[in-house]
Amino acid sequence: MRGHSHTIVVVVAAAATGYGWWATGVRPFTPAAYLAVALPVAAVAGAGWWWGRHRAPGRSPVRGLRGAAPWLGLALAGLGLEIAGLALGGRSPRVPTLSTVVDHALAFHATRLVVFAAWVALGLALLRLRGRRRPRSAP
Amino acid sequence: MIGTAAWLALLGAVLGALGQRVPGWMALVALWAFAGWHLFARYTVPR
């Protein structure tokens, strides 16, 4: 039984790696590129929607803007870093903007695969966040 | 056309979260989807 589940993990990991390799190899601005991103998004959004409908009653740890505030704060911090980098020199290698860092990270197929895997892992983390629930607080 | 629709979807998710009519989780998924869409479907590395 243990060997069987191990085989499943290996097969899923190989399939995910193959999908990631294909997804990071297609040209941007093409239907294949949109499809490559849309499939994981649809899977995470669909699973989260299903989870929300079928889980036991209880409050999700993320509810409303207050729950999302740390994540939104991180996004705003990234935006602020980008604006500061642009204000301090744009594409200067001494003051790299987020875009310059991303340019280096996406320059090679293998590094694009790593960034894509990190993006998918973030989506799965969001899904786990959706599944977690905290008990209702006493009135 | 697709880009305009994505921007409008993101705007709708943010406005919905601000009104607290949708769970914050949906806003997070919208941000995550936007990042993937931008990086892997709409981003060309300069040569």
SS3 of A58-120: the string is CECCCCHHHHHHHHHHHHHHHHHHHHHHHHHCCCCCCCCCHHHHHHHHCCCHHHHHHHHHHHH
Q: How far A63 CA sits from the closest chain B CA (Å)?
A: 5
- Residue A114: its pLDDT value, please? 94
- Residue B42: its pLDDT value, please? 83
Q: Indicate whether A137 belongs to any domain.
A: no
Q: How far A64 CA sits from the closest chain B CA (Å)?
A: 4
Give the residue from A14, A76, A95, A1 showing the smallest Cα distance to B14.
A76
CB proximity A40 to B under 8 Å: yes
Q: Give the domain range for residue A21.
A: 2-131
Query: Does A139 score more than 50 pLDDT?
Result: no
Q: Indicate whether A101 belongs to any domain.
A: yes
The nearest alpha carbon in chain B to A130 belongs to: B25
d(CA A58, CA B17): 19
Total domains present in chain A: 1
- Residue A138: its pLDDT value, please? 45
pLDDT in tens, A31-62: 999 999 999 999 999 998 888 777 655 555 55
pLDDT in tens, B2-37: 556 666 666 666 666 666 555 578 878 888 998 899
Q: Which residue has the higher pLDDT, B16 or A3?
A: A3
Q: How far B19 CA sits from the closest chain A CA (Å)?
A: 8
d(CA A88, CA A83): 9
Does A126 contact B46 at a Cβ distance shorter than 8 Å? Answer: no
| Range with lowest mean pLDDT among A20-24, B18-22, B42-46 | B18-22
pLDDT in tens, A108-129: 999 999 999 999 999 998 888 8
Exposure string of A117-137, with b = 16+ CB inside 10 Å and e = fewer, is eebbebbeebbebbeeeeeee
Q: Indicate whether A43 belongs to any domain.
A: yes
Chain A residues in contact with B12 (beta carbon < 8 A): none
CB proximity B37 to A under 8 Å: yes
Residue B35, helix vs strand vs coil: helix
Does B39 contact A123 at a Cβ distance shorter than 8 Å? Answer: no
Q: Indicate whether A139 belongs to any domain.
A: no
Q: Residue A59: beta bridge partners?
A: A134
d(CA A88, CA A64): 35
Query: pTM of this prediction?
Result: 0.72
Q: Indicate whether A59 belongs to any domain.
A: yes
Query: Does A85 score more than 60 pLDDT?
Result: yes
Average pLDDT for chain A = 80
- Residue A60: its pLDDT value, please? 56
Answer whether A133's CB lies under 8 Å from A61's CB. yes
- For residues B34-42, average pLDDT: 89
